[in-house]
Amino acid sequence: MTLKQEPLPSKTQLIDAQKQLALWVHDTPVLTSTYINDLIGAEVFFKCEQLQRMGAFKMRGAAKALLDLSMGQRAMGVVTHSSGNFGQALALAAKMMDVTAYIVMPDQTPQVKKSAVRDYGAQVTECASTIDARIAATQLIASKTGATILHPSNDLSVIIGHATAAMELLDCIDGLDHIVAPVGGGGLLAGTALACHHFGHQCTCLGAEPIEVNDAFRSLQSGKIESNAQTNTIADGLKTQLGDVNFPIIQALVQRIDCVSETEIIHAMRLIYERMKLVVEPSSAVALAALVKHPERFQGKRVGVILSGGNVDLSDLPF
């Protein structure tokens, strides 16, 4: 696969995105925990995107992607395939902006997630669980309705939208040394890296990834996009594949990706529930797991952590 060689999104593009999104997304709180600071030996600042509208940072990218459509495109609607947070985010953002949204969801998606998307007013189309079936169903809807296909993470508007979480964190907390974000499809990490690059002064961007699906870690090592042979992780939001739009940004701007085990993710998740009193989904715990695993790498630093979302089945917590 040849990577797209585009110039990096500019500082102005990010500033414009932040201004545009101010109407549509929350400037989420930044919280701290003395216990966790002592545990890591660092000052850790948690950007709480689980408190974002619909419960995840995906709201930012979805809203930005809609704002970047032409008037003509808006009239025809948008379509995406997602079993997770991006489907809900696009449904809600589209409802708020009065755009028709079509969401393709695998038929094995839990009923509660399909209901959430329908409750936001989007039209749900079910398909078989394979990636080929999802893409085919999406393309069919696009060709029938003229709806614009939006990708949950491998899209520049989405990436720029996601960047605004780290921009707010940098606005709010001075002198950060690092911001750590989880990496799945790569949209959040690429956006966070852009924010650090343009607004971070000395602040570097780090990724955190489950060992079980560490395609991004391996891609940084090999210099080309790698795939996951399996997706056996509790961090269901991070099973998705790195893309050719976000990988070049990650390659250019992310200092390092740390990998963590399933046990380490669950332990960090429990810390966030017990010590911070916050409901997060497993994907959100991956960045803290990286800090807990390698405290020596963060000793004495000021570290931002993006808590990515809180949409979790409470009757199925791993503790």
| Contact set with its own copies (CB under 8 A) | 29, 31, 34, 50-51, 53, 55, 270, 273-274, 276-280, 310, 314-315, 317, 319
CB of 30 to its own copies, least distance (A): 10
Minimum distance of its own copies from residue 228's CB (angstroms)? 28
Biggest distance spanned by C-alpha atoms of the chain: 57
Residue 14: closest CA among 195, 181, 247: 195
284 an active-site residue? no
Q: Which of 47, 58, 113, 114 is catalytic?
A: 58
One-letter amino acid for residue 245 of the chain? V
Decide whether 38 or 296 has the Cβ nearer to its own copies: 38
Helices 11-21 and 156-172: angle between axes, nearest 10 degrees = 80
| C-alpha to C-alpha distance for 307 and 281, rounded to whole angstroms | 9
Q: Which of 73, 149, 137, 65 is nearest to 105 (CA)?
A: 137
215/236 with CB nearer its own copies: 236
Nearer to its own copies, 245 or 287 (CB): 287
Whether 54 contacts 48, CB under 8 Å: no
Active-site position among 33, 64, 82, 83:
83
CA–CA distance, 251 with 155 (Å, rounded to integer): 16
Tell me how far, at minimum, the Cβ of 278 lies from its own copies, in Å: 6
Q: Which pair of structure tokens corresponds to residue 42? A: 């660092």
Please state the closest distance from residue 273 (CB atom) to its own copies, in A.
5
Select 279 or 292, whichever has its Cβ closest to its own copies: 279
Nearer to its own copies, 211 or 279 (CB): 279
User: Closest Cα to residue 191, out of 242, 157, 152?
Assistant: 157
Residue 58 annotated among the catalytic residues of the structure: yes
Shortest spacing between CB 31 and its own copies, in angstroms = 7
Please give the C-alpha separations between residue 159 and each of 64, 114, 186, 308, in angstroms, as whole numbers: 9, 25, 9, 14
Return the amino acid letter for 303: V
Dihedrals phi, psi of 64, to nearest 5 degrees: -65, -40
Task: Give me the active site residues, please.
Answer: 58, 83
